A and B are shown apart, each in its own frame.
Chain A
Amino acid sequence: MQIGAGMPQVFSSNANGIARFILWGLCFFAIFAAIGGTALLRSGFITGVGRPVAQAVPFSHKHHVGDIGLDCRYCHNGVETSASAGLPATEVCMTCHSQIFTNADMLAPVRASLASGRPLQWQRVNSVPDFVYFNHSIHIAKGVACETCHGDVDDMPLMQRAHSLSMEWCLGCHRDPGPNLRPPRDVFLLHWNPPQDIEQVRRSLISILDIHPETMTDCYVCHR
C-alpha cells in the first residue's frame, strides 16, 4: 500500500499522551505491586504472625507458663533430644487435671480422650514446609532459646506465631547467630535479662559450643 496524502490519521494527536500514561502507569503499577506483594507476603495476613489459632481445648500458655510457671519441658519433653519438641500425651494433661478442675467443661475433650483412647487433635501453630527438616535439640544445645522463635508464650492465652518462620527469617540467624545466643542453661527462661557482658559471653559461646556460622547456610542443613 502506498502512503498517500489522502490517507486519514489512524490515531488522534492525544493518543501519544494516553500511550505514555499507560506505559508509565504500568511501570508504576508493577513497582507498586512488587512492593505491595513483598510486604503482603511478610505480613501477618500471610505468615499468621500474631493471630491466635482456635483449638479444641483452649489451652492457655499464659496460665500454665506465666501464672503457674511450668517448665517448657514438662509437656514438650522431646525438645532436648529429638528433632520434634513433642506435644504432651493426654495422660500428661491428666496428671494435674485428674486432681484440679476435674469437672471443668473446658476440659471435657481431654477427659473424653483419656476415656475413649482417641487422641486430642491440636491445630498446628508453628510449622515449616515438609521439605524443611528443623531440629529442636540442636538449637537448644547451642543456646538458642525457646522464646527466640516462639516469643513470649507466657503472654499468649491462645498460642500464636511470634515470627514468620520464613526461610529469610531462619537465615537471618543462621548467617549471624551471635545476637540470638545465650548460655544453654538459660534457654528455657522467658523474658531473660542478658548480663552486662553479654557480647563477650556470646563471642565465647561461639567458640565453646563450636558454632560455625559459615557452615550453617549450607542448603542441606535444612533441606534433605
Chain B
Amino acid sequence: MSAIADIKSVSASDLAALRRAATGREPWRSLDELADTAEFRRFGEAEFPAIAERLPFSLDRRTLLKLMGASLSLAGLTACSEAERIVPYVRQPENIIPGKPLYYATALSSDGYGIGAVVESHEGRPTKVEGNPDHPASRGATDAIMQAAVLSLFDPERSRAPLRQGEPASYGDFLKDMAKLAGGLAASGGQGLALLIEATTSPTTKAQIGSLKQRYPKLRVFRHDPLAASANEQATAKLFGRPLTPIYHFDRADVIVSLDADFLGEGPGRLAYARDFAQRRRVRKSTDTMNRLYVVESTPTITGAAADHRRAVRPGLVEGIAAAIKAALEGGHDAASLPSLGMEYALVDDLREAGRNALVVPGAHQTPFVHAVAFAMNARLGAVGNTLDFIEPPHAMPIDGDLAALCQAITSGSVDSAIVLGSNPLYTAPSDVDVRNAFSKLKLLVHWGLYRDETAFLAQWHIPAAHELESWSDIRAYDGTASIVQPLILPLFGGKSLHQLLAALGGEFDADMQALVRPTWADMDEPAWRKALRDGVVPNSASAPVVVSIPADVGDPAPHAPVTNRLEVRFEADPWLRDGRNANSPWLQELPRPLSKLVWGNAALISPATAQRLGLENGQMANLARGGKDLDAPVWIMPGQPDDTVTLSLGFGRKIGSVAALSGGYDAFVLRTADAPWFADGLVLTARDGSARVVTTQHHQAMEGRAIVRHATLDAFRQDPHFVRDGAPPAPTESLYPDWTYDQEAWGMSIDLSACIGCVACVSACQAENNIATVGPDEAALGHEMHWLRIDRYYAGAVDDPDTFFQPVPCMHCEKAPCEAVCPVNATIHTHDGLNAQVYNRCIGTRYCSQNCPYKVRRFNFLKYQEFDKDSAGPQQAVHNPDVTVRSRGVMEKCTYCVQRVAEKRIRAQIENREIADGEVVTACQQACPTQAITFGDLNRKGSQVSREKAAPHDYALLEELNTRPRTTYLGKITNPNAGIAGKPGTETGDG
C-alpha cells in the first residue's frame, strides 16, 4: 500500500542509488523498501499504522473507565436471541440429507473454454467450487475466478427482470416481440438480422446457430471477444491451410522456451499446463532432474517469475528475437541483423540437446510470425507429436466477421436488428470502432447478459442471463474434451440460458433448458448421459491430434523500426476481472494481482529506468495518448518491466455496478485499436502533477529482511542438499514452555516453493471456504485486508531484471505459539492434534496475539465487514459456508488449517471406527492449487505424504531462530539455470 502516492514514495532520481542498494542485499519486496521511504517504514514500525495514527492518545483514566462501563453494560445484551423456526421440506428431494452437502460435476467457462468443476451444494445452495480431478483442464485444480463464481451467482446487482426501453417488462412480452420478428424474418430469410456472439465452444450453441441459419439463410453471425487473439489461427491457416490449435505437453518437455507466452497464467489450458510444468520441478534428492524454462516476455508474468532465465523485451522485439533463436538453431544464417538476447547460443544448445523433448511456446497475443517461427522450431527439433500436438480448434464456428464488421454492416444498412449475446461491446470495443453510433442506428437491439451493463442501457430489450451455475449447456475444454454444464440451482432472478434465447429466435418459445441441450448428445443413451453428468466429462471426446508437416521457411520478421524516446504499449487482461466482466465481484477486486499486488484498481506499469528517464514516481498521474485518444492513469514502477514499454490492464474503469464503481483505475479499452489489440507503438506519455491512490498489499506485515525465501540452483542443491541451513541462524532446541504430546493426529503442512507459481488461487479458495470478508478499497489501503493466506512476493537481484520469488504464508500453527501465551481470555489455544485454534466467541479483541505473532498472519475485524444478521444480509449471505462461523466486529481470526474439514473427516472416520486416512483431509488452499505445491496431513503417521515432504533435505521453517517451531514448513526453491549463461544473480544459493 505504500503507494498511496500522496506520500511521495520512490523518486526516480534515486534509482541509481537504488541499484546500488539492490546489489548489496537480497531479497527485497519493493522499490519503496529499497529506498527505505517513510511510507515503508511506517508499515514496518507499526502493525496497523493507520490505527496508531488515528487513535486519540489523550485518553485519560476517566474516559477509559466510562468506556469500560458502557461496554460492560452492553455485553449482557448479546445473549438475547429470538426463537427460530425449522422449515422441513414438503417432499424430501432424493439424496438430500439436511446438514450433508452434495457435490455436482459441471464446467465453468473461461474465455469460452470449459474447466471442469465440482460444486458443493448445501440443501440446494451452491457454496464452493472445486476442481474436477477427472477433467483434463482442471485435474482437480481451480483458479481464483472459478472460486468467485458462487459469489457472482448471488450478486444482488445481477439483472433481475427483462427490460423494454429500460422499463421492467415480462419475458412473455419479449417473446411476443420475438414472435413478430420471427414472422417477418421467415418471410425475408433473416434479412437484416445479426447475432453478436462471444467466443464459445458449446456444441449446442453451434448446432442451434446452424439450424437458425437454415431457417434464416440471410442471418449473419458476428463474434466479439475482446480477449481473443487471432495470431495462432492466422499462423496455422498459413502453414497448414486450415486453422489448428496447439496443445502442449509440458510433462514431456525438458527445455521450454516461451516467446512472450504466459502459459501458467493465461489461456484455457493453464491449470493443466501448470500442473505438468511443476511436476517436472519437484526435486527431493540429488538424483532428481528438472526441466528448464527460458522466458522472453514483454511484461512481468507469473511464467516469467517461474523461469530459470528471463529476458524482458519490448513486445515489438519478440519477432526479431524469435527469428534470432531460429537462425541460431539452424546455424547457417548470419543473424547479425537480428536483435540479440545475449543467450541464444547457450539456449539453442540446450534445445538441441533436449531434441524432441524441447518445446517452444509462442504467446497467444504475439504476431502470426512468432507462432510460425515457434512451430517451425518445434518441428525442426522433432517436438511436434511429442511435446506439441495440433488439434482442430474446439471453438470452431463459421462466422461472418468481428465487431468492426458488424458495425460496418449496420452503417451500410445491411443489418438493422442485432442480438448481442453475452458480450458488452459498448465497454470492450476497440476505440476506433464506434459501437455507440452504429448501435443507435439499429431498429432493434436485444441484449442478453448477467448485468444491466453499458450495452444493456442502449438496448431496446435487455434479457437477464442465467448464471453458469443456473443453466444447462455444454462446453469443450482446451483439448476438445466436452462437458455437460448442469445447473446447481434454478435461476434466482428469472434468467434465461443462451440456448433458450436462440431457441426463441427460431420460434421455439417455451423450450426447457435441459431439453435444448440433450438432443446435441442424442447418441448417448440415458445411462451414458447420466454418467457424463456425474463424471463431468463426456468420455473420449478429446480431439485427436492432427498430423501436420511444417515448412522450414516461415519468412522473415516485419522490420521493427528502432525506437528512440517512443513508448510501446502492451495491453493485458486483468488476471481476475478479465475484460471487465468480473468487475462487480468484491472477492476478485480485492484479490492481489500476482506480481504487482495491486487491489481495487490498476495502474500503468513502467520500468524503473523509464520512470527515471521520464521523471515519474509511483502513483503519479500520467497522460497516455495514442492515435488521438488519451487517458489519465497512475504510474506504477514495476521491477522486471522492459524499458520503454507501458503495460495497461483491461477490465477497470467501469462505472456501472456498485462494487466496480468503488474501485479505482482507468479504462484501457480507450487506447486499444482493432488493428493492434495487444501491443502497439507510438504511445505518448505526459507526466501530470497530481497523483492517485494506488492500493497494494505489498508492504503489509513486513518481515524485515530475514532468512525467509531460501533458494539454490539444482547444481548447488546436488552439492549441498541441506543448502537451506547455510547461513541461517540455528534453531534453538530448548524452550521454556512444556512440550505437547500428540496421541492421535498431529497436523502439519509443507509448501514446496519450487512448485508454487504464485497464481493466488489458494487465497481465493481460502476466502470462499472460510467466509472471509472483503473490506473495500479504503480499508485495504489501511492494511486491513482479511485474507487468511497471503502470497508474499520477493525480488532478488537487479532492480531492472530481478528474480522473483513467491511464498504463500498461512498460519504456521506453531508448536510454541507466541500468540497463545499472550491471550488474556484463552481465545487462542493449542489443541490435542497440534492446531492453534482461534475461538471467536471467546475473543475480546485485545489484538495482543496479532502483536505477538512473528509471521503476521492474524487478521482483525476492525469494522463489521459482513452482515451476520440473517434478516438484513441480502442474497449474498447465501454464499457462506455453513460449517464456518461468520465473524463480527472486534474479533481476531486467522487460518485454521480448515478445521471444519478436519472435523468432518474425523467424525466420519470415528463413525466408521477407523483412523483418518492419509490424504483424506484436504485443505481449501491445497485443493485449489494447480501445481500441488501444498501438502497437508498427519505428522504422526509414518510414511504420510506430508512427513515425506518434511523429510526432504531442503525443508525449513520460517524464522525458526525464534523457536516457534512452526507446523507449516517450506521446501526451499530450486532453480535450474544454464551454467553456460552467466551474469544472472541468484545462480548461487541464497536466502533472504
Contact = CB atoms under 8 A, between A and B. Distances in A.
Nearest to A120: B88
A91 interface: yes
B61 interface: no
B52 interface: no
B381 to A, nearest CB: 54
A89 B91 CA distance: 6
A91 B91 contact: yes
Contacts of A168: none
B903 A224 contact: yes
Given A78-B99, A84-B99, A86-B97, A133 B839 contact: no
Contacts of A218: 829, 831-832, 837
A210 B99 contact: no
A121 interface: yes
Contact of B883 (A122, A129, A219, A224): A224
Nearest to B835: A220
B896 A224 contact: yes
Given A91-B91, A133-B903, A78 B100 contact: yes
B98 interface: yes
A129 B80 CA distance: 11
5 interchain residue pairs of minimum CB distance: A84-B99, A82-B99, A87-B88, A89-B92, A83-B99
Interface string B82-113: 01111111111000011110000000000000
A113 interface: yes
B98 A135 contact: no
Interface of B: 81, 83-92, 97-100, 743-744, 829, 831-833, 835, 837, 839-842, 883-885, 896, 899-900, 903, 907, 910-911, 913
Contacts of B744: 212, 215
A95 to B, nearest CB: 12
A30 interface: no
A90 B87 CA distance: 10
Contacts of A89: 88-92
Contact of A118 (B90, B837, B841): B90
Contact of B85 (A123, A129, A141, A214): A123
Nearest to B745: A215
Interface of A: 77-78, 81-84, 86-92, 113-114, 117-124, 127, 129-131, 133, 135, 137-138, 141-142, 209-210, 212, 214-215, 218-221, 223-224
A122 B896 contact: no
B92 A141 contact: no
Contacts of B99: 78, 82-84, 86
A149 B86 CA distance: 19
B87 A141 contact: no
Of residues B833, B837, B842, which shows the largest number of chain A Cβ atoms within 10 Å of its Cβ?
B837
Of residues A83, A87, A118, A138, which shows the largest number of chain B Cβ atoms within 10 Å of its Cβ?
A83
Given A129-B81, A220-B899, A210 B913 contact: yes
A13 B255 CA distance: 101
Nearest to B827: A219
Contacts of A130: 885
B913 A84 contact: no
Contact of B86 (A87, A114, A129, A223): A87
Given A82-B98, A86-B97, A223-B885, A122 B907 contact: no
A128 to B, nearest CB: 11
Nearest to A75: B88
Given A90-B91, A218-B837, 17 more contacts: A77-B97, A82-B99, A91-B89, A118-B90, A120-B88, A127-B84, A137-B907, A138-B910, A141-B911, A141-B913, A142-B910, A210-B913, A215-B833, A218-B829, A220-B896, A220-B903, A223-B840
Given A78-B100, A215-B832, A224-B900, A123 B910 contact: no
Contacts of B839: 219-220, 223
A142 B885 CA distance: 26
A200 to B, nearest CB: 20
A32 to B, nearest CB: 18
Contacts of A88: 88
B90 A91 contact: yes
Contacts of A78: 97-100
A113 B88 CA distance: 11
A131 B90 contact: no
B84 A86 contact: no
Nearest to A82: B99
Nearest to B913: A210
A223 B842 CA distance: 10
B910 A82 contact: no
Of residues B81, B86, B903, which shows the largest number of chain A Cβ atoms within 10 Å of its Cβ?
B86
Of residues A78, A81, A86, A91, which shows the largest number of chain B Cβ atoms within 10 Å of its Cβ?
A86
Nearest to A48: B83
Nearest to B88: A87
Contacts of A224: 883-885, 896, 899-900, 903
18 contacts: A77-B97, A78-B100, A86-B98, A90-B90, A91-B90, A118-B90, A120-B87, A121-B87, A124-B85, A129-B81, A133-B883, A133-B900, A137-B911, A141-B911, A212-B832, A220-B839, A220-B896, A220-B899
